[in-house]
Amino acid sequence: MAQVIPESWQVPAKFRQRVGASAGRQRAMIDSGHLLLILHELPGLNQMERSARLFWRAPDGSWKASGAREGSGLPVLKRHLEAFQAAIVKFDEALDEAVKGAVRPEPFFDVITRATPLQRTTRNLHKALQAARDGVDDKEIITLRDLASDLERAADNIVTDAHNGMAFSIARNTETQTWQATRALRAQHRLNLLAAVFFPVTAIGTIFGTQMTTGLEGAGPWLFWAVVGVAFATGLIIRSAIKDE
């Protein structure tokens, strides 16, 4: 079975027994002055499995990091946290751009989708370093724990602000659509009122415009104006009825 912990590391046997073929969740293991940190790399989009980074602190205070070719493992651990810090800065810039053009919710949703895995990873990173701090008295671990706490809080703020921004964008778009729909309904209502006034005139005009013998052909102009008056009066009555509704 492949070993996650490098074979050259002189770690307690208990550590190797507690780690299987995969690293598993982020955590800290402590035994006889030895500290083993199992951390995760920056999460990628739609990445189900997390690549692990292991850091071992021996009882004499020396550090080693998995995959590190040379030098102490402590600078590698610091760079590991700095990579998360740089990623959070990029997400913060993306959120600022989304806020500037807060017309569509899609930019906010994109930030949420990509930042949520980072949020979970930084939360578990903080827990692992807090457990390391509780088990080992080392000022460097305290500094890294505090940095991890800041990373967790920053990631939480980004996801929360992105959720709030998306909700605001959706609400504003809904309000705009409602206002436009209201304007359209008002315009349609005005057209209905105009149609109500002129419909009787049009209908009566059409009837009297038909080429048929009615016996009224010889009537004077008064008949024309009387018909027009009756038509408009009918239209106003209909208009009033529509307006009251």
| DSSP string computed for the chain | ---SS-TT----HHHHHH--SS--S-EEEEETTEEEEEEEPPPPTT--SPPEEEEEE-TTS-EEETT--SS-HHHHHHHHHHHHHHHHHHHHHHHHHHHHTTT-SHHHHHHHHHHHHHHHHHHHHHHHHHHHHHH---HHHHHHHHHHHHHHHHHHHHHHHHHHHHHHHHHHHHHHHHHHHHHHHHHHHHHHHHHHHHHHHHHHHHHHTS----S-TT--HHHHHHHHHHHHHHHHHHHHHHHH-
pLDDT of residue 158: 94
Q: What is the pTM of this model?
A: 0.69
Comparing CA positions, the residue from 113, 131, 111 lying closest to residue 45 is 113
Distance of alpha carbon 98 from alpha carbon 111, whole angstroms: 9
Q: How many CA atoms lie within 13 A of 146 on its CB side?
A: 5
Burial annotation 135-152 (CB, 10 A radius, 16+ → b, else e): bbebeebeebbebbeebb
User: Which residue is it, tokens 């057209």?
Assistant: 191
Distance of alpha carbon 150 from alpha carbon 156, whole angstroms: 10
Domain ranges of the chain: 13-176
> What is the chain's pLDDT, residue by residue, as a tens digit (245 residues)?
356 888 888 999 999 888 877 778 899 999 989 999 999 998 876 666 678 899 999 999 999 998 765 557 899 999 999 999 999 999 999 988 888 766 688 888 999 999 999 999 999 999 999 999 999 989 999 999 999 999 999 999 999 999 998 888 888 777 777 877 788 777 777 777 666 666 666 766 665 665 545 555 556 676 667 766 776 677 667 667 655 55
Q: Which amino acid is at 44?
A: G
pLDDT of residue 183: 80
Tokens linked to 14: 């208990």
Provide CB contacts within 8 A for 55, sequence distance 6+.
36, 37, 39, 63, 64, 65, 66, 73, 76, 77, 80
pLDDT of residue 232: 67
CA distances (Å), 123 to each of 20, 104, 216, in order? 23, 29, 93
